[in-house]
Structure 1
Amino acid sequence: MKPSALLGVVLLCLSATVLAKPKTGAEWDRCVQNVPEQVFRDSGRFGVDEWVAKHCGATKPLEGGKMAKADCDRLFEIQQECKRFEADNLWSLSNASRGNANSLLAGQKLEQFDQLCQAVGHGKAMPSMPSFSARFCTK
């Protein structure tokens, strides 16, 4: 094999590992912390969300089928905010709370979480932590 072809194969393998999305929650956290400042300056929060989805993955990976306890606790706190502020939905909450929910949940789970926020905000009882955890913090 020619040296230039071998170099090409090595570079391809290295770029695949560098460009691979994070597999663990800790890798995802590090990736999210490395968003280039220029992305925010050029495109604002929407640009940052797009960059994170493209380079890190839209949501933090679950490890062993379970979300980290601190992340699950944060989601539970957000539901408590829904009740405290009598929220109509997630959009009624702060950008930070919405961003946390969006980074930890996706698709159907995010929709269910939003529906629960609305129900709790309109007076429905909060689920217990074990019930909430089983519903939102596992695969």
Structure 2
Amino acid sequence: MNNHPIVMTIPAIADNLSIIRSVLYALAVKAGFSYEEIEDMKVAVTEACSNVIQHAYGDQEGFIRISFQWKDVDLYITIKDDGAGVREEGESTIRQGLHAIPLVEASIGGLGIYMMHALMDKVEVKRLNGTEVVLIKRLGRIEEIV
């Protein structure tokens, strides 16, 4: 796979989630990810994009910028918004993936981040002029796909 990113800017509305999942599916199949890995990525990406749709812009219109980029055998999926978002009281715990506390003690709003951590190999959340979520999935088998 080449390392040139594929970048989309799309209105932050629920109707566009299927477009994002379709692009992810096409790229992941071509790269050689298994069906289970692709489904995991689709759930994680849908959750990250749903967070943008629900929380980033309030009642205003906004956009999701999503990029797919290869770095060695890792697929980096970056979901970015420019919205104000919502700041949770336990935000630092949520960003760590809730690994330090039992799941039953997690706040409802933090479960999406927990799922992303469970389904992806690595998750990074950055908050500066909006929110950026980077989801990283390592390709399990390395074969040349024709």
TM-score (norm 1): 0.27
Task: Identify the structure with bigger relative contact order (alpha carbons < 8 Å, sequence gap 6+).
Answer: 2
- The structure with the largest helix share of the pair is 1
User: Whose Rg is larger?
Assistant: 1
TM-score by length of 2: 0.26
